[in-house]
Amino acid sequence: MVSVVALIVWRFHAIIVLFFFLVFAALDGVYLSSALTKVPNGAWFTLLLAVILSTIFILWRFGKEQQWTAEAEDRFPASALLTTDSNGQTCLTQAFGGGKVSTVSGVGIYFDKIGDMTPIVFSQFVRKFAARPEIVVFFHLRSIPVPSIPESERYVLSRTTIPSCYRLTIRHGYTDAIVTPDLGRMVIEQLILLVTRGDRSTLSDNSSASSKQHSPEVQAELDVIERAQAAQIIYIMGKEQMKIKAGSNFARRWLLGLFLWIRENSRTKMASLNIPTESLVEVGFVKEI
């Protein structure tokens, strides 16, 4: 199993892996031979269980490799999808038809499992419907192998080349609860912090935080965020349907068919989200692997 991981995940050269494989194979062979002598007495069950589990793990990894390869075709920077014309109207780039994109009131939080480039669910949404929310947030969760991440180090927020579009990455530990019913409020708070960061604001005579006056550019952006938040906050995630490419050989079709059956009968991502269901939208699209 370590050899398979070294070849597929770590991408080590086959000759290097072969040397360590032979060493561990000799040791495992000794234990396997001792287990084989006990097969008539019932030791076959543990061997069969090991074969079944190993087959499932290898099949799942093979299917995921094919899925990631197909998804890589839809990974491109935001500037390759949307642009702005001379009138300030958001449009698709010429590579995607060049049509105008209308704006829908509200904040759209798009779940992004990669964390860079443009989320597939967003590109599919814009290309199919020629529309986008007034405020767009690409939301990515990055798990860190520690119990908890301090608040000051948890959020990484940046702008994209698309107007009123931001990328939010949340670094979290395995005890941190991030996706909660207050997720929308937290995202808006982070957007406000990004917009007002570095703004040379002036205070009114009362000199209170609530009476702080921002520059016209910053205040205009804050007004857009406030207006979009008052309209609606929706959470959008992708529901990717896989289809095997025509012309695939029998073995590949059979393996991928079994992988897709396991994938479709596993728990969906929506089931584990602790956010209001009336604000959650799942966008389906088909991808060939």
DSSP tag of 100? B
Q: What is the DSSP letter of 198?
A: T
The token pair that represents 254 in the structure block = 């059979």
Q: What is the pLDDT of residue 198?
A: 64
* CB burial of residue 218 (10 Å; 0-12, 13-18, 19+): middle
Distance CA 158, CA 180 (A): 22
Residue 46 dihedral angles phi and psi, to the nearest 5°: -65, -35
Q: Please, what is the average pLDDT of the chain?
A: 84
Where is average pLDDT lowest: 36-50, 229-243, 259-273?
A: 259-273
Q: Give domain limits for the chain.
A: 2-73, 82-196+213-289
| Residues 126, 102: Cα–Cα separation, whole Å | 9
Q: What is the DSSP secondary structure assignment for residue 207, as one 8-state letter? A: -
Counted residue by residue, the chain has a size of 289
Q: Greatest CA span in the chain, whole angstroms?
A: 91
Q: Which of 122-131, 211-220, 234-243 has the lowest mean pLDDT?
A: 211-220
3-state secondary structure at position 113: coil
Higher pLDDT, 45 or 110: 110
Amino acid at residue number 95: A
Opening angle at CA 29, ends 26 and 33, nearest 5: 150
Quote the pLDDT of residue 10: 77
User: Using CA atoms, how far apart are residues 96 and 82, in angstroms rounded to an integer?
Assistant: 9
pLDDT of 109: 95
Model-level pTM greater than 0.75?
Answer: yes
Q: CA 207, 211, 217, 221 torsion: positive or negative?
A: positive
Question: Is it the case that residue 71 has pLDDT exceeding 50?
Answer: yes
Beta strands in 114-243 (DSSP E): 131-143, 155-159, 165-172, 202-203, 212-213, 233-243
DSSP class of 244 = P
Q: Report yes or no: 63 and 253 within 8 Å, Cβ to Cβ.
A: no
In Å, how far from its chain's centre is CA 69?
15
Distance CA 222, CA 217 (A): 9
Confidence of residue 269 (pLDDT cuts 50, 70, 90): low
Give the residue from 78, 66, 60, 82 showing the smallest Cα distance to 116: 78
Whether the pLDDT of residue 243 is over 80: the answer is: yes
> What amino acid is encoded at 187 in this protein?
V
Query: Residue 161: left (phi > 0), alpha (psi -120 to 50), or beta?
Result: alpha
What's the CA gap between 168 and 190, in Å, rounded?
9
If pLDDT is split at 50, 70 and 90, which confidence band does 199 have? Answer: low
Least confident of 39-48, 130-139, 205-214, 215-224: 205-214
Which residues make Cβ contacts (< 8 Å) with residue 142, sequence separation at least 6? 115, 169, 170, 171, 172
CA dist., res. 103 & res. 126, Å (int): 10
Q: State the amino acid at position 224 in one-letter form.
A: V
Least confident interval from 201-205, 233-237, 281-285: 201-205
Per the CB < 8 A criterion, the answer to whether 159 and 193 are in contact is no
pLDDT of residue 122: 92
